[in-house]
Structure 1
Amino acid sequence: MPQNDLFGSSQLGLGLEDTRPDPTHVDPASVREELAAILATARAARDEAPWDRRTHRYHQVVFPQMADWLPADEADAMRRQFSVELERIESLLAA
């Protein structure tokens, strides 16, 4: 008969178990959806930047990192497409 852990997360039913999502498992479909939405926002911007300079820098760093969760060829294609949009938005921010 297994011995119960006296200090375990479920001891006495306190509900202290870790309910956070597993950071080692990322759903590529949700990443793809989020990246596609960011890319669509960037593409839709014509007369003015869709975000401020700080958000621009954030997307510049985070978008490529998020793409790492996708298959390599898809990730590369999304990075290239987003890079083109970032350059275009950079000129809108400078205006």
Structure 2
Amino acid sequence: MTSRNQLDLFGADEPELFDEDAPTVYYHGDPDRVRARLHRLIAEARAAETLPWDEDSVRLYRKIVPQMVLWLPEDEAKQLCFDFEEEMRRLLAA
């Protein structure tokens, strides 16, 4: 028995969790927000003489930057990836 404030998780009138007919929803990144975030990240790296992030953050940024640029035009994406990796090489060599 359920109270009025509690959902009946096994009720027959509930929607199917894995409904094969449900429409697929894709997230579309906002290019302006992505661009702004990448420019801030690269600017932070350029302003630093040594790595400004801990090891976990470095791994994260090196993994997500190539994914983030997928929301941008191809030429801009390549340039931002190049700029980021150049700064990473400089900082790792320091």
Query: What is the TM-score when the length of structure 1 is the normalising length?
Result: 0.68
Q: CA deviation at 1:84?
A: 0.4
Distance in 1 (alpha carbons) for counterparts of 2:40 and 2:26: 22
Instruction: Report the identity percentage.
Output: 37
RMSD between superposed Cα atoms in Å: 1.6
Partner SS, residue 68 of structure 1? helix
Greater Rg, structure 1 or structure 2? 2
Measured after TM superposition, the shift of residue 91 of structure 1 is 2.0
Equivalents in 1 of 2:77, 2:68: separation in Å?
9
Q: Which runs of 5+ in 2 are unaligned?
A: 1-12, 16-24
Q: TM-score, normalised by structure 2?
A: 0.69
Query: Which residue of structure 1 lines up, in the alignment, with residue 92 of structure 2?
Result: 90
Gaps of 5+ in 1: 1-5, 9-21
1:89 deviates by: 1.6
Q: Distance in 2 between matches of 1:51 and 1:40?
A: 13
Structure 1 residue ranges, 4+ long, deviating more than 6 angstroms after superposition:
none
